Structure 1
């Protein structure tokens, strides 16, 4: 997709170089606007005419939609392929609760979803949203289910029913929380549009026929819209094909009716857990903004969280931790000092292995610009002088009585240089972090 040049954007800016947008120059601000790293509203001196022109020039081809009191944002994507720029708003996982369950079961399930948390490699994974589905078709049952979930959890809600009267009953309970209304069919579209306008809620349009979906999107012009190109009877891979076609139409061909975020209700389509997980993984990679799931177990959700994290990370910025001195456990003046780089995966593997083994120690994190140990060595970033500077800045010498530094086995050739530059005794450790705890014990360092 062609992007506007920085000069085109710069010519629409005030050219004051005031820095009030937290960027020193207007040209730098123009670059951030093009990359999607800033919003033009951050400039206080833009006229309404300039805002309109900028919006037309730099707005993402896929519209952004927000919902919930916590304001989750979906859409706002600019490219078909991650390597062209990046994907901006990660896929929302919304777990389904049917209104046909007993009140106690609804409350228990909502509480489980609210408190669900997985920690892995320093990241906390939480469920984003709850979908309330009208399985009973009864307005009062649906209203009661929505009320119970609202009182139990503060997560953003999606209300799912094909009957506008049922949706009306549910949205009455949470009108101020901006839920997503899901889903309007061609024959109920008029009623759904009225409800969506009345409560200023995003509206999902549902049809596996893309021509019909296009007609519906045209009629819903002016609303915050999501597209659900599936139906309970659709074959899983036909759903994937529809999703890809919609996103290509929105970004490549700039068809405005398809320039909306995509929602997929996998709880209806996939009959078995393995198929639901398989479909979810495909749609995370291929453009789904919201997935409605029945899956609730850690073993099903953890792989999806990890996949989402990988797809939506910025490919041009390596995962890093802040360089400096870190404490593992409760170290004292006799505890070992271990050196590694600030590549996030290396850091969490090293510290994880040490914590699991109950080792009390200090870990010196070297700024390798997000590179692993061997890559940093090959790139010339790991040097004896840089390590000397890290030791001085971290003030580790004030915390330990010894002068012994354990370095990764991959940089053994720097041992003598580091010793000469720092005056510390350098001990070459194992190449793999899994061998570090036993190595420290064997060498009598802990």
Structure 2
């Protein structure tokens, strides 16, 4: 008996998605509720579970296709007869040749892979990536499924993917896994290719051969592009800057971080300070926490802070609800949970719905200064940057202090320059004197 697999409900106002990747192929054994496909919506990736235990049947939809809620995308055959047959067939001597003839499927990327040129690997390495055995016999182990972006990194760094433990979904390799393996490999000399092997990639590149890869944008990346461009086209964007002396916050963090972690089970980071400082400033300058709706201004008496988090498919902004009422520990726990679930692809639509103000920390990637773009319908975004020792004048003397640039991008239709400057000044004062956060100044 076969059961149909349909596109599940994806969330409020979301009616369609893109079939990003098949996690199970026809003939594969599946357990009840085991993910068999990954769908990409405008904001998150959603796994489609198997309704029954059995064997994966026909794929009704190809990868990359747009599907609506309720669409039948596959069938699962009940029982394990086909799986047992496939297993016994795999144990026979014949399958080695067929396995060599059938390269491992290359999955669509979870994120936006760079289209940089990728050097060509020697035969043995390329066979490992493609899943084929070459002239010397069948491959001796099951080769992992690789996305185009991961495949490019494997080729560039000369990594054998079958010898790297994947940390992604279902043990698949991620970019981070390949980069870690490349770092571990370090400066160890690569094994000399066999005499029959083709010339290395460098020699081929010198001969004029240049590779390109064309990858379809994920639905999430398309949505990010549309929303950011829409923000530029609709809002009157302006950015104002300030800098802040991080000495007091660094001292407080150094002094209390061990006690904080021991008591609350989470590390004390800088985001807790800036989130609390932002809540303080938003209370005094309510326009920064408001939004334009037609010819009306909507003011919020709560602060839902969208925190920009890096995920495999791109930048996502889960929301810290009622941040003004949360403690430092609650904020740090929430941010830590968002980061872990974003990396694992476990964020939900509800996690990213709403938000009245955004904080984006480009400093973790080394950014010195930027002009962030607002996340509509919000009216402002605070950009944090790297901490850098710089000479500053303190009481008439030059001292070296850990300084950070702050950037506030805002919709000038709603927020005046005076309000934007005042907002940043409140945050600057609170960070340079964290006692203000405790006494609401």
Scaled by the length of structure 2, the TM-score of the pair is 0.21
**Which one scores higher on RCO, CA 8 angstroms, separation ≥ 6?**
2
